[in-house]
Amino acid sequence: MHQVNEFLKLIDSFIGSAAWFPYALLGTGLFFTIYLKFPQIRFFRHALRIVSGKYDKEELPGDTSHFQALATALSGTVGTGNIAGVALALHLGGPAALFWMLVTAAFGMCTKFVEVSLSHKYREKLDDGTMAGGPMYYMKNAEFLLMGKKVNLKWLAAIFAFATVLSSFGTGSLPQINSISGTLQTTFDLNPVITGAVLSVLLGLVIIGGIKRIAAVTSKLVPGMAIIYFIGAFAVILANIGNIVPSFVAIFGDIFTGSAATGGFVGASLAFAFNKGVGRGLFSNEAGQGSAPIAHASAKANEPLSEGMVAILEPFIDTIVICTVTGLVLLSSGAWSEKHQNNFEYTDIEILQGQYSENQDKLLYNHINDKESLPTFSGNLEVQRGEIMNTDITFLHARSIAEDVKVYSVEDLIDESLFTGKIQIENGKVTDERLLSFEGKSLVHSASLTTIAFTRGWFGEYGKYIVSIGLLLFAFSTAISWSYYGDRAMTFLFGTKSVIYYRIVYVIAFFFAAFQDTTIIWTLSGITIAVMTLPNLLGIIWLRKDMKKTISEYGDFFEEQFPGQKHPKFK
């Protein structure tokens, strides 16, 4: 598992985790914000009127209402990114990372407005009567000019569609069920295999029905899961109301310096906080990734811009509202910087040669933030009745110094006996082929951290059930929506007959991911997100003039269809 994760991390270092990727993402959003004169602000109220159904007409072409399309797209974005993703960003980059998540969302509102409008404009009606759209269709159908000559971008459309299929697993299937199974195991001691099996069957039953059944299910799940989650979140926030102001100070006070060390958290540099905040922000709201336009293509409308305006609301709801609430829960509760008893994952374990201390040692800070590597330990760990006897080492887990580490043999866990013997370590990683379990106190991240934070409110230990139920609904609805994105991409690449085979593989992968290593799942997710995002950003920048023209045309259409109605200035 360690070797697989290291290989995936190497790939990710050139794309999603590369220093240039956040700038490409934010830069695109900033460019369109200025180029189109802040549409996320100008059109916000108009977007609310559209999604309320004020301008809906039943006879318009499409399969779903504006609200159902928004709910389907939100169900694809509101998921583990809001529960596990925020906790991971905070764990990696500290409170300052949350600020960069919010910045990503603010510019992402404009990016999503553009990508949805263009994709809706160039959607197609398939042989089965349903609508198909997404970046691959505007890449295929729009008129692209290069030095005054028309160029064909079908090759870019094919790349994007293939990346969408990969990302449907990396974003929609694997991390969702992995987070669900992990949380249910922590809360109810439910075997991940059982969780994966039951939910895989339910997933298969829903996605077989296509977009209409998916829209019907998600339009009911999204409001319900939001209510449950907010009740639990505000129970924590209000119980820790005295920590709210310090929480905001932590988020905004270290924007340009990085997050300072506190508790078990050794601190994070500005570059690390920025990169991880933008990356987790993208995973949360998917602005620029090109996924939401596929869901919005099914909406009933005879002009594209109205659906683009509906999409403005997604990053606002998903990141600026829900992720901020999650961040305040984590910060106000104090759980994010505390060490908690947990089972260690092999990929999060690193053993250093020499002794180091948290909060005082600059060398450890540089190592954790990928600035300057420290020498790692190679050799044997001497273990007696679960206790590590080596003295000149530092045992790291989850970017913190682990405490009270105990080692068990998996077979011995049944009768609670402790491991005694030698454990092989190479370059700081456990390479021993025996099945061993490491337990102790360290920082935790992802869904487990949010679960702990939710127990620090009025509901006490019952708060963890709210996270479990909320995550179950959030993540399951995301998996449902992403299956639709994947089958639209398969339809584009190989035709409608390929969809059934894709759905089978999707459900099978969903099952197996329930009991796989969390760190590997998240690393794979980062790769697939970046591979899908880059061709979409290239395409929408290329069509910037087309987008400005589309805004102007919508103004003429609106004045003709709804004379006397108030609307923002479109020109």
Dist. CA 286–CA 98, nearest whole Å: 16
pLDDT of the residue at 270: 84
Residue 447 lies in a domain: no
Residues 407-428 have a mean pLDDT of: 81
Under 8 Å between Cβ of 66 and 299 = yes
Residue 505 lies in a domain: yes
141-151 CB burial, b ≥16 within 10 A, e <16 = ebebeeeeeee
**In a shared domain, residues 27 and 97:** yes
- Identity of residue 288: G
**Per-residue pLDDT reduced to its tens digit, 57-85:** 666 655 666 677 777 667 666 666 778 78
Dist. CA 122–CA 124, nearest whole Å: 7
pLDDT of the residue at 273: 84
Under 8 Å between Cβ of 184 and 190 = yes
**In a shared domain, residues 108 and 182:** yes
Residue 146 host element (H or E)? strand 144-146
Dist. CA 264–CA 338, nearest whole Å: 6
**Domain final position from 442, 475, 509:** 442
DSSP letter assigned to residue 229: H
Dist. CA 170–CA 181, nearest whole Å: 16
- N-to-C CA span, the chain: 55
**In a shared domain, residues 151 and 268:** yes
Residue 570 lies in a domain: no
Whose tokens are 């505000």? That residue is: 234
**Which pLDDT band holds residue 361 (cuts at 50, 70, 90)?**
confident
Whose tokens are 């590597």? That residue is: 373
Name the 3-class secondary structure at 359: coil
Total H helices, total E strands in the chain: 24, 14
pLDDT of the residue at 571: 57
**Per-residue pLDDT reduced to its tens digit, 424-449:** 999 999 988 778 889 999 999 888 89
**In a shared domain, residues 344 and 333:** no
Dist. CA 571–CA 566, nearest whole Å: 15
Dist. CA 311–CA 314, nearest whole Å: 5
- Expressed as residue numbers, the domain containing 385 is 340-442
Give the Å distances, CA to CA, from 367 to 54, 125, 201, 344: 55, 54, 44, 20
Residues 325-332 have a mean pLDDT of: 94
pTM of the predicted protein model: 0.83
How does the average pLDDT of the chain come out, rounded? 85
Name the 3-class secondary structure at 122: coil
**Domain final position from 442, 469, 490:** 442
**In a shared domain, residues 365 and 489:** no
DSSP letter assigned to residue 319: I
- pLDDT: is 222 or 15 the higher one? 15
Residues 523-543 have a mean pLDDT of: 88
Residue 126 lies in a domain: yes
pLDDT of the residue at 395: 96
Dist. CA 557–CA 562, nearest whole Å: 8
**In a shared domain, residues 205 and 263:** yes
